[in-house]
A = this chain, B = another copy of it.
């Protein structure tokens, strides 16, 4: 009979093979989004389909099932390392989920979404929703079926939410999002009506892409992003991607008419990358070697983007460097005016360019539409109109075409329904982490003012990064911030900050 240690090793070898396929898939995707030749896109979609299918097949294989059965037997289980136990749990969860999906449907879906991403890119460019509609209809149909295969208790959309944030339900999201709407919609109106608007004209001067790149790299370095285990490239829709713990890549976009896109975008994606780079190396080659959930992932990117990158203190150290890279556009702009300028807030059309005050409302628009789509309360053909109406209702603005409306995000083309809420929930988490961090780093503001970002990164590595997927969001948040999901810290932060930026009475 095999010893426990031997079965454990064999199992971990098998799991590592799956991680190898995942690395290949990640690279194929990274490449597709950072410069793969356009004529090769069609075959590339099939390659992604083949490799993703293989991951699927390995994850639900008889071999996997047999490993899980043997390792779960009580006398074996207790002798397993903690890492092996967490890995078995994770594999079991995936197997049970995947086993409910017909393999042919899964492969067709992977091919479909890869083609849909190219179709979306063109449709967005030409603001032609109808060109994208047939793809999106198939994607929505798949997601509805998917929810039914997986199963749910209260709401069909729960099945999709759980994929990105384990245990999340419509009931929980509704509670948090209603609280955000209740306080943010009037706050946005209040800000919008304020008489003391920050100066913003100086933001839109020509800032050469190459200099933006230099500044972006300096900030990433200060954040402790390891360039020997990553790289920075350009893309249309920025993202960060972990191929393995030692290869985590950031992408960004240089808008020469608005440096904020690259600067805050890079800090944001850098926050994601730090999470993936600092997962404990002992988890390499297992499904634990990644972030625990999308919302916790987003808490990292938004923490860096907003609580660091949009803080006045951060710019005390980085403003001189930004000035040095710019073509004179900040010469007559005081630090204070700069700070207020980059924190200008108000209703806008594009999520990824939204300020931190209105950002959650953009997410709530998408959440409410997804929920309605999956529950068949609306159809894909109704989306453009429904989108525009929601934007008007929550933000008071209406897109003039679908390129700046319903077509703006890649997520649906990528097949991801249930993902968007993570963005706002991550923001909620980030504010809670800020309060948790303040207890151990009371001089947080001073550190930022000196450009010393290492202690901030170290605290996040200690509380969040290193654990990878070995702890769930609730465990991590309770240990780091003393409680699970709570929107009040975020609401307090936003109310205080924006009344101050807009010189309103506190």
User: Which A residues form the contact surface with B (CB < 8 A)?
Assistant: 16-17, 20-21, 23-24, 27-28, 31, 35-40, 42-44, 46-47, 49-51, 54, 226-231, 243-244, 246-247, 249, 284-285
Contact = CB atoms under 8 A, between A and B. Distances in A.
B20 A244 contact: no
Contacts of A227: 37
A390 to B, nearest CB: 38
A24 B51 contact: yes
Contacts of A50: 17, 20-21
Nearest to A249: B37
Contacts of A243: 40, 44
Given A24-B24, A24-B28, A44 B231 contact: no
Nearest to A22: B47
27 contacts: A16-B46, A20-B49, A21-B50, A21-B51, A23-B44, A23-B47, A24-B28, A24-B47, A27-B27, A27-B31, A31-B31, A36-B247, A37-B231, A37-B246, A37-B247, A37-B249, A38-B228, A39-B228, A39-B246, A39-B247, A40-B243, A40-B244, A40-B247, A42-B246, A43-B284, A44-B243, A54-B54
Contact of A244 (B43, B229, B231, B246): B43
Contacts of A42: 246
A339 to B, nearest CB: 34
B31 A47 contact: no
Contact of A43 (B44, B47, B49, B247): B247
Given A23-B44, A39-B226, 7 more contacts: A20-B51, A23-B43, A27-B28, A35-B231, A36-B231, A40-B246, A40-B247
B284 A37 contact: no
A23 B37 CA distance: 14
B47 A20 contact: yes
A440 B162 CA distance: 67
A24 B24 CA distance: 6
Nearest to A243: B40
Contacts of A43: 23, 244, 246-247, 284-285
A208 to B, nearest CB: 14
A229 B227 CA distance: 30
A155 to B, nearest CB: 38
Contact of A229 (B37, B46, B54, B247): B37
Contacts of A35: 231
Contacts of A231: 35-37
A32 to B, nearest CB: 10
A414 B50 CA distance: 27
Nearest to A247: B40
Closest 3 CB pairs of A and B: A40-B247, A39-B246, A20-B50
A16 B36 CA distance: 20
Contacts of A249: 37
A98 B369 CA distance: 54
Contacts of A228: 37-39
A240 to B, nearest CB: 13
A131 to B, nearest CB: 20
Contacts of A20: 46-47, 49-51
**A16, A23, A46, A54 pick with most chain B CB within 10 angstroms:** A23
A9 to B, nearest CB: 15
A417 B21 CA distance: 29
A294 B302 CA distance: 52
Contacts of A36: 231, 247
Contacts of A229: 37, 39-40
Contacts of A40: 229, 243-244, 246-247
A50 to B, nearest CB: 4
Contact of A44 (B21, B28, B31, B247): B247
A37 to B, nearest CB: 5
A44 B17 CA distance: 12
A159 to B, nearest CB: 30
A295 B484 CA distance: 65
Nearest to A17: B50
A35 B249 CA distance: 11
A244 B36 CA distance: 12
A243 to B, nearest CB: 6
A23 B31 CA distance: 12
Nearest to A31: B27
Nearest to A25: B24
A186 B77 CA distance: 76
A44 B244 CA distance: 9
Nearest to A16: B46
